[in-house]
Amino acid sequence: MDLGIAGRRAIVCASSRGLGRACAMALAEAGCDVVINGRQAQTLESAQREIQHTAKGQVIAVLADVGTQEGRAALLKACPDPDILVNNNAGPPPKDFRQLSHEELLAGVEANMMTPILLIQAVIEGMVQRKFGRIINITSGSVKMPLPLLDLSSGARAGLTGFLAGAARQVAASNVTINHILPGAFATDRLHSIMDKAAKDRQISMDHIAEERRRTIPARRFGQPEEFGKLCAFLASSHAGYITGQNLLIDGGSFPSAF
């Protein structure tokens, strides 16, 4: 399917690896000029090379932390008028909510709620004026179904979801959409680190933890980042203009609901 976005400009945050990189690759394959970023130069350069290999447009790498004002400014300097913005950022490490400090709480909200809002504020008027915009926020399946030790991540992302619910309706008439993709268990570094911590805490093997987790998923497997990227690219496409303000689960059927 031709997604109708060849030549569009996209910023994909936290995209040197994992789900962010998969989104950047899918958009680049669709013909977008894509700006990616990461905090580690070697990882970022490797991602740029990999994405450029199949890209139909330009891939620009920005060494920056999207969670900082300087990092966001660098991304916007590289792409001042994006047509597509994919918000993504690392979540806080697993921790019992009783043990979270005031500073950790603020950092979690800053990374997973305030950072995407600030970027949206910076780009949305241009999208409205051009009558095209696609904003996609990578949140988490835990927004709908809490996961142990991820309360801060879930809370901050749920706050983002609630904050943007009204904004999505305000700009829909200008062909600007705001949606959220809620990943379940995907084969990424973050899932690996969470399972590794669980294995060490319980003093059992990583393979055992992984098999336990897979058994809780109706699909009986972890998601592949490429699957996530393709969904992101469709939501960014010219065909998705009537989808806005939605939370799309991609979790192998893990969330047990009929609606």
Task: Count the domains in the chain.
Answer: 1
Nearest to 114 by CA among 141, 147, 89: 89
Q: Tell whether 213 is covered by a domain.
A: no
Q: Tell whether 214 is covered by a domain.
A: no
| Cα end-to-end distance, the chain, whole Å | 28
Query: Is the separation of the CB atoms in 143 and 158 below 8 Å?
Result: yes
Q: Tell whether 207 is covered by a domain.
A: no
Q: Tell whether 34 is covered by a domain.
A: yes
Q: Tell whether 37 is covered by a domain.
A: yes
Q: Tell whether 193 is covered by a domain.
A: no
Q: Tell whether 194 is covered by a domain.
A: no
User: Where in the sequence is the domain holding 13, given as residue range(s)?
Assistant: 9-186+223-250
Nearest to 21 by CA among 224, 255, 246: 224
Model confidence, pTM: 0.94
Q: Is 81 exposed, middle or buried (0-12, 13-18, 19+ CB in 10 A)?
A: exposed
pLDDT digit string, tens, across residues 72-123: 999 999 999 999 999 999 889 889 999 999 999 999 999 999 999 999 999 9
Query: Is the separation of the CB atoms in 117 and 161 below 8 Å?
Result: no
Q: Tell whether 201 is covered by a domain.
A: no
Phi, psi dihedrals of residue 11, rounded to the nearest 5°? -110, 125
Q: Per-residue pLDDT tens, the chain, 259 aa: give them.
A: 899 999 999 999 999 999 999 999 999 999 999 999 999 999 999 999 999 999 999 999 999 999 999 999 999 999 999 999 999 998 898 899 999 999 999 999 999 999 999 999 999 999 999 999 999 999 999 999 988 889 999 999 999 999 999 999 999 999 999 999 999 999 998 888 888 888 898 999 989 999 999 999 999 999 999 999 999 999 999 999 999 999 999 999 999 998 8
Number of H helices, E strands in the chain: 9, 7
CATH code at position 145: 3.40.50.720
